[in-house]
Structure 1
Amino acid sequence: MEEYKKRIIKVISYIDDHLDTDLSLQKIAEVGAYSPFHFHRIFRLMTGETVQQYISRKRIERSALYLALRKQLSLKDIYLQFGFSSHSAFSKAFKSHYEKSPSEFRKSAPENFHQIRLQESKNGQTDAVFTTYLCNIENLLNWTTMNLTVKVIHLPEMHLAAVMSLGIAHVESSYNVLIDWAKGKNLFPGENVKMISVYHDSFKVTPPDKVRIHACMLLDKKLEKQEGEIFAETIEAGKFIVANGEITLDDFEKSWVSLFLWMKENDYSVRKAFPFEIYHTNFKEHPEGKMIVDFCIPVN
């Protein structure tokens, strides 16, 4: 099973990095060192989706981000980039996923793309939903001012050890795998240990049970090779909006939403890289369940 996980991690990373290319089952199976027949079955067992379902969903979700954030691109530019043969095929697939056409989605995006509401789920948790406001813009920006210290700074390259999580519910178990590995390397616990969550999907376009998050630990040097579920990830050096604050777990959604609004209000645009969180303290060790966190958005 560990070898299967290692190969699937490699395959998912390859798919996500090549959504604008021809992703044949044969090619993807080769990346994972499987025969196409066995790979198809193993992928579905590990992810809950067929290979084609995963690729189709990721292309639609990536096109949604482009529609919202890359206004200079035409609909045709976007659907051709992600492998749709025609406007009608793209519109049909997009509407099936988001219940609105690409044009309707793009028109609504400037007003509510970075604003969400909270909807109670069956287990009492909250799910991110795209449709309405969490609260108005002014209140969110005021919340940012009161609770977060925001800077735009250059961050250096960071080398990470990572464990992939498919779905928000599996992040804690991914960190447990990472910590067990780090203990075996005498890297944990330690005064200067930094845990980092890297978001490879957006909750605005990807359901919480499908979102890909990497549970990571900052290393002094690059991990040379994959060790079981542990693989190397690098955050490239560059300009970031960094918001620091001491907050509870319930404040995470509000922090991200308000920070993206701050970004828009201050005329910054997202760079093609992944946002992440850096944890400086552990909420389990605080009497009020608070933790010190950096929220980091790559910008141009």
Structure 2
Amino acid sequence: MSNSYEKRLLRVISYIHDNPGGDLSLDTLADVAAMSRFHWHRVFTGMMGKTAAQVTREIRMHRAACWLVQQDWSVADIAARVGYPNVGSFTRVFGEEFGLSPVAFRNRGDLTGSLPEPHEGDYPMYPVDVETHPDRPLAALHHKGSYLEIGEQFQKAGTIIAARGMLPAMRGMVGLYYDDPTSVPEPELRSLAGVLLADGTEVPDVMEDVTADGGRFAVLHFTGPYAGLKAAYDYLYGKYIPEHGLELRDAPAMEIYLNGPQDTPPDELKTEVCAPIV
């Protein structure tokens, strides 16, 4: 697939992320892509596997979910900031995406960074295994800033793979999280969005060839929306690892995504949360 089309798709993805409350109509996105509106939607859908409207909605709802927990803005204000001047419409769409109303989601407050702040208290139980993993070569894009915003890099990584006709070689996605958000300022947090490719597949020139080191991990098996991962991390780091006398080693936390939101309902998403241990 032409590198020109790949660049246009990436430009559009960035524009949606940067302007969630703006005019994201097909005509506007066609202008951003510098393509005829008569052909733009067909090209986007054919290359991405979903419509521009679906991608726009996903990005807007994720941004809203972040703001509901991070900010004290009213629901009406957040709705407007993601392009929904009608609160009723926003509430309906948000509920379809997350299975909760915006108010209930905010009250639960469980969409936080990927690394938890240990605390005393009760924890839900999750299945955990100690496993030895091989090294994982990744085609990667780096992210700096809030872990909650790494989704843009995952989306761009998937766009590059799709635009280059490499989807048959894709074996999954892996996230690496290098810093502790309780001790590192949010703008300086480092993370990585990686695509696991079949052996022998050449890494696209616009992505970095990175190896996720293997070794022993305490692996928590999580099923459900990514918004619930905070509780999973709390259990893994705050209860399971201390109670089992495991020693953490100096390596980043890793998330392995066994499926993805593009074709899986939120309640059926499967994530392996991997804490590196000695």
TM-score, length-normalised on structure 2? 0.54
| Aligned counterpart in structure 2 of residue 186 of structure 1, from 157, 165, 170 | 165
Q: 1:281 to 1:184 in 2, by over 3 A?
A: same
Structure-2 residue corresponding to 1:121: 71
Where structure 1 has 5 or more consecutive residues not aligned to the other structure, the ranges are: 1-117
1:222 CA displacement? 7.0
Matched AA of 1:203: P
- Check whether the contact 2:172–2:257 (CA below 8 A) recurs between aligned residues: yes
SS in 1 for 2:247: coil
Structure-1 residue corresponding to 2:154: 175
Structure-2 residue corresponding to 1:275: 253
CA distance in 2, matches of 1:272, 1:251: 25
Q: 1:200 to 1:179 in 2, by over 3 A?
A: same
Q: 1:152 to 1:173 in 2, by over 3 A?
A: same
Sequence identity, in percent?
18
SS in 1 for 2:171: coil
1:225 CA displacement? 6.8
Matched AA of 2:151: E
Structure-2 residue corresponding to 1:114: none
CA distance in 2, matches of 1:291, 1:131: 20
| Aligned counterpart in structure 1 of residue 222 of structure 2, from 245, 253, 256 | 245
Structure-2 residue corresponding to 1:258: 235
- Check whether the contact 1:165–1:215 (CA below 8 A) recurs between aligned residues: yes
CA distance in 1, matches of 2:117, 2:216: 30
- Check whether the contact 2:223–2:267 (CA below 8 A) recurs between aligned residues: no
CA distance in 1, matches of 2:127, 2:154: 27
Q: 1:225 to 1:187 in 2, by over 3 A?
A: closer
1:182 CA displacement? 1.1
Matched AA of 2:228: D
CA distance in 2, matches of 1:131, 1:242: 15
- The aligned runs of 1:1-300 (5 Å cut-off) are 120-122=70-72, 127=112, 136-137=120-121, 139-140=122-123, 143-144=124-125, 148-167=126-145, 168-188=147-167, 193-221=171-199, 227-228=205-206, 230-261=207-238, 262-300=240-278
- Check whether the contact 2:253–2:274 (CA below 8 A) recurs between aligned residues: yes
SS in 2 for 1:193: strand
CA distance in 2, matches of 1:210, 1:199: 12
1:208 CA displacement? 3.6
CA distance in 2, matches of 1:213, 1:247: 22
- Provide the aligned C-alpha RMSD in A: 3.2
CA distance in 2, matches of 1:298, 1:131: 15
Q: How many residues align?
A: 174
Partner deviation per Cα, 1:259-284 (whole Å, 9 max, x = no partner): 01211111111112111101112235
TM-score, length-normalised on structure 1? 0.50
Matched AA of 2:218: I
CA distance in 2, matches of 1:289, 1:188: 24
Where structure 2 has 5 or more consecutive residues not aligned to the other structure, the ranges are: 1-67, 74-105
1:205 CA displacement? 1.6
